[in-house]
Structure 1
Amino acid sequence: MSRIRWIRRIIVLFAAAASVASAQTPTLPLSLEEATRRALERNTTLAVERENVEQAGFAVVGARGAYDVVWDADLGWHRRTDPVNSAFSGAPAGELAPELESASATTSFSQLLPTGGTVALFGGADRSTTDNVFTILSPAYSTDVGVSVRQPLLRNLAIDPAREAIRVAAADRSASEARLTRVVSDTIRQVDAAYWSLVAARRDVASIESAVALAEKQLSETKSRVEAGTLGETEVAQPTAERERRKGDLALTRQRVAEAENTLKLLVLGDPRDPSWSAEIVPADDPAATASRPDIGKALETAFARRPEIAEAKARWARFEAQVDARRSDLKPRLDLVGAYERRGLAGRRSPDAEAFAGQPIVVPPALEGTWGRSYGTIADNEFPNASVGVSFSFPIGNRTARANLAVAKSALSQATLAVSGEEQQVQAEVRNAVFALESARQRIEAARAARVAAETQLYAEQERFAVGISTNFLVLTRQNDLTNARVTETSALTDYRKAATELARATGVLLEERGISTAGR
């Protein structure tokens, strides 16, 4: 047992030396959660996708604006003197034509209906004066209020341009949200892979440093035996060569650590001038995890319901479906039901020109004598109602444009259907591969752990035999290499399991949920 304690002291000394060397380099302790957070904050592709989602949301709001109430208003004044080719022009004596002066105001509120129709409320007021001798009221106050409705019965009944635009915009927004989710998932996967690769590389460095320490010890013992005359001088060559070989492996593994660090920094550091580029990342998370066996049937069911790639493909399909519905509606004749109801009002004062022409006072009904108030009073009394109802029909003979547009839309929808099927096939393969990879990593962990324990036992036994002179440098060094390889293999299995678990979560579409990450908001 004293021999094992001596080996441990050597390993501690190597670790202490490494820590002294690393003390000169600033360190950056980093957990997987923190690495993921930094990557999501600094990823420019994610920033672009977030803007796309926001733009798509505004597009939906804009499309719904088709149902906003539209207010129209007009004010005007005009004076007219129209030549009249008649003996009864109504012009005063000595004039060629009567003169009309008026000031008017009209307003209306109109809105598109969810059924494709339109409704409008309108009203107007007009004050006019004239010297036409046949006009009994001057000034005259004319008013009107009413409502009009137009409702499609064939084309634009089930879907119209406004509803098509809303469905297309909603589908585009869903596709943008799915793309954002996909990019976030891919980013998390990349961070996980880089993080656990760094963990594995650093652990491999520790394993090979331990192997170098063991080689140094074996070389020291061999030299002692050569000096004691129990071994020949040529016996020093083998542990010396093995020590140098392991030092070469250590240099290569440290290079892997640097490369793995830079890969992770590329994901989590957004500024190329960030001082952290010169820091040594020290992962805070341990790769050890509770291994589990996934249910492939449940995994596939979850993936088909949650994968953003499928959601994006279905959103594109919904977009083309809306266009097919709209183009199919365009094939129908335009048959609209139109109706209106209006109440008109009139009031005024007796025209002096008309009385002068008649040579006697003009009798004006009392209900019409007055100004604006009396004019609106006749509206309230329903003195002058107007009502109309009818249908409007239009149909292009042949309708080739609509037929061609429908054919194009159907073709695009067929392509979208194939795209959905293709994504589902891809997801099927990815989920199965992820399940198999996770199960393989689980089995490798068990095997590697058992192999490492066995290698430790074999090395201890071989060292004991060497101590009593019944073993050789070759066998001891071989057992040391076996232990190093077993440790590296165990580390690889542990980190591969973590990577496989992340990949399975991504493949089934639950990675964001597992990490508590939401793509909603900014």
Structure 2
Amino acid sequence: MFKGNMAALPRLCAGVWVFAFWTLQSTFGASGAAPASDEPASNYTGLGVLKADLLPENALDLGREYQDETMQKRTPLTLQEAIDAALRGNLSLHYERYEPAKEAQNIEIQEAVFEPDIDLSLNYSENNDPRETSTLEGSSKPQSTNFNYTLSASKKFSPGTIVKLWTGSARAWSNSSYSVLNPNYSGKIGIDITQPLLKGAGTFINLAPIAIALSSKRESELRLRKQILDTILNSEIAYWNLSAAYASRDLRRSNVELAKKLLEENRAKLSVGIIRRQDVLQAEANLASAEEKMIIANLEIEKCNDELLGTFGKLEFDNNPKFRVVVLPQENVVVPEFRRVISGALSFDLDLQIALELIDRRKLEYAVADDNVNPSLNLRAGASALGLEAEYLDSYKSAFDAKGYTWNAGFDFSLPWGFREERARQTQAKLSLRQSQVNLSNVRQDLMASLRLAFRNLQSGIETRKSTARTLALNIESFDQQKALYDAGLASFRDVLQAQRDLDDAKSAYLAAVYDVIISQSRLSRLDGSILRRNGFNWGNLGEYELEPSQMSAADDSNF
């Protein structure tokens, strides 16, 4: 018993000496004096240098760009280039760009109601009777021909008044011996005026369809702007998703490198009899697990690359370009004042503007439906000058000289039985108006909920990033300590693997926190409108991005 303990004593002493040396080195530096730098070396590759009592700005050393053997074959892409490509090529945005032009045609349709109409009517008739019915017919077989035309121009005015100017002429011939003018020409020039007194009366009602069409066009323009903002946000998120996928892949690769290093060390120790075969098997299993996660990370890169291409409208079945993006920024983020965020969102939010526009349009539609419940009562008045001569031109001269005339006046009244259809449409319009008012309140609620959520996510994301950075620093030191204890024979390899897993989890948690801060900042800026300013835009200089696709210049996508 004593001899066995004596045999293990040199190994125990060596372990205690290594642990003491590691402790002194981490406290005073490698030379035994006070360290010249606050940055101790780490056994874990792929990480920035940390101490538990420090909170560096960049807790993960991602470098200036992601690197591997395939990165040089990938197309470099900045965030601004990604946004520009999305604004030019995004298919959902392309679809929405046509809507304002379509709605503009509805304005033309409604305004066309007040355009003049020109009508021309021609008629020719011939009559041959087999015999006379009276001696006054002047022929044993009466024959007659008649040709006439009417040309009119009518126009509707905003009060509902319809004015019609018309002229007409007729040529009549018969074989009657009693005809004084044979053939004879009659000329007519007249005017007819119709004015609605109940249904359809007034400028407001008659111009309401144009106002409704204008409102629909304004809404389509607002929806286009909303789609532009969503496209900018979605392209930002897709861009940072790809960047996060690269960062995750780099972290997984560092895990693979460390797993290989641990396996090599264990094999060397096994060859001299320091450790058991079980430790080597655990190291091999650890390497296999790290390589499996590396495969998943590479698949995530391909997926995020496709999603980014999808925002550009450039995703194909094959031969898709691969992008090289910038690393995730880890700079400190300042949380904006919440009151300023609310003020900006209320004045900027396009859903609110769309809801207000919808209320205005529903009011107009209700006014039209309410007017249709009235009975139709129209005042008619007309007058015409007549001329009758043996020659065509003489008949018009006679009409201009007012040798003959007619005039008329009257009322037209129409009353649908029960007004069932009209009252049903009136009720529908009233309910739609109430719905739009409720929708406005709902949009306000959704906006406030989204603002509060985005603001809290940004706040908590910043705090979480700080917390995960501290956790990462502690796990780095914990792993270094466990590795030193294992090298000294004072800890099992399972303890080292557990420390490595804890470090991997801390590293992934920090990376997720960095990503969450970036995405939360983007989502909040989308709500308060600062996303335009952050990307160098405003509604005044978006220019062709608000045009329909046929009017846009060709995108320079030769790199894609």
Q: TM-score range by the shorter chain?
A: 0.7 to 0.9
2:77 matched residue in structure 1: 30
Cα 1:157–1:381 shift into 2, 3 Å: same
> What is the RMSD of the two structures over their aligned residues, measured on CA atoms?
4.7
Shift of 1:169: 4.3
Q: Aligned partners of 1:407, 1:10: CA distance in 2, in Å?
A: 72
Shift of 1:435: 1.6
Shift of 1:74: 1.9
Cα 1:247–1:190 shift into 2, 3 Å: farther
Cα 1:346–1:286 shift into 2, 3 Å: farther
2:422 maps to amino acid:
A
User: Equivalent of 1:520, from 538, 541, 547?
Assistant: 547
Q: Aligned partners of 1:121, 1:288: CA distance in 2, in Å?
A: 78
Q: Is contact 1:337–1:392 with CA below 8 Å preserved after alignment? A: yes
Q: Percent identical across equivalent pairs?
A: 22
2:235 matched residue in structure 1: 191
User: Counterpart of 1:275 in 2: which secondary structure?
Assistant: coil
Deviations 1:324-378 (A, max 9, x none): 2222112222222322243333433xxxxxxxxxxxxxxxxxxxxxx44443334
Q: Aligned partners of 2:402, 2:277: CA distance in 1, in Å?
A: 122
1:65 matched residue in structure 2: 112
Q: Aligned partners of 1:157, 1:510: CA distance in 2, in Å?
A: 48
Cα 1:401–1:376 shift into 2, 3 Å: same
**Mapped pair 1:274 → 2:318:** yes
2:373 matched residue in structure 1: 331
Q: Is contact 2:246–2:301 with CA below 8 Å preserved after alignment? A: no
Q: Aligned partners of 1:254, 1:197: CA distance in 2, in Å?
A: 17
Query: So what's the TM-score if we normalise by structure 2?
Result: 0.69
Q: Is contact 1:158–1:329 with CA below 8 Å preserved after alignment? A: no
**Mapped pair 1:245 → 2:286:** yes
**Mapped pair 1:494 → 2:539:** no
Shift of 1:261: 2.9
Q: Is contact 2:457–2:520 with CA below 8 Å preserved after alignment? A: yes
Q: Aligned partners of 2:118, 2:408: CA distance in 1, in Å?
A: 23
User: Counterpart of 1:137 in 2: which secondary structure?
Assistant: coil
Query: So what's the TM-score if we normalise by structure 1?
Result: 0.73
Cα 1:257–1:147 shift into 2, 3 Å: farther
User: Equivalent of 1:95, from 140, 154, 167?
Assistant: 140
1:141 maps to amino acid:
Y
Q: Is contact 2:110–2:210 with CA below 8 Å preserved after alignment? A: yes
What are the ranges of 5 or more consecutive residues in structure 2 without an aligned counterpart? 1-28, 32-38, 48-62, 550-560
1:293 matched residue in structure 2: 335
Shift of 1:155: 0.8
User: Counterpart of 1:294 in 2: which secondary structure?
Assistant: coil
Q: Is contact 2:482–2:491 with CA below 8 Å preserved after alignment? A: no
What is the correspondence of 1:129-144 to structure 2 with a 5 Å cutoff?
129-132=173-176, 135-144=179-188
Q: Is contact 1:7–1:217 with CA below 8 Å preserved after alignment? A: no
Q: Is contact 1:310–1:423 with CA below 8 Å preserved after alignment? A: yes
User: Counterpart of 1:115 in 2: which secondary structure?
Assistant: coil
1:258 maps to amino acid:
L
User: Equivalent of 1:110, from 154, 160, 166?
Assistant: 154
User: Counterpart of 1:234 in 2: which secondary structure?
Assistant: coil
Deviations 1:281-330 (A, max 9, x none): 32136434662323434434444454444455455545543432222112
Cα 1:21–1:218 shift into 2, 3 Å: same
1:261 matched residue in structure 2: 302
Q: Is contact 2:43–2:480 with CA below 8 Å preserved after alignment? A: no
Shift of 1:249: 4.0
Deviations 1:129-150 (A, max 9, x none): 3455665433433222233221
Deviations 1:457-483 (A, max 9, x none): x58996998899899798998887776
1:436 matched residue in structure 2: 456
1:282 maps to amino acid:
R
Q: Is contact 2:335–2:459 with CA below 8 Å preserved after alignment? A: yes
**Mapped pair 1:422 → 2:442:** yes
Q: Aligned partners of 1:257, 1:161: CA distance in 2, in Å?
A: 64
User: Counterpart of 2:334 in 1: which secondary structure?
Assistant: coil
Q: Aligned partners of 1:426, 1:6: CA distance in 2, in Å?
A: 50
Deviations 1:114-159 (A, max 9, x none): 2223222212223333455665433433222233221212211248
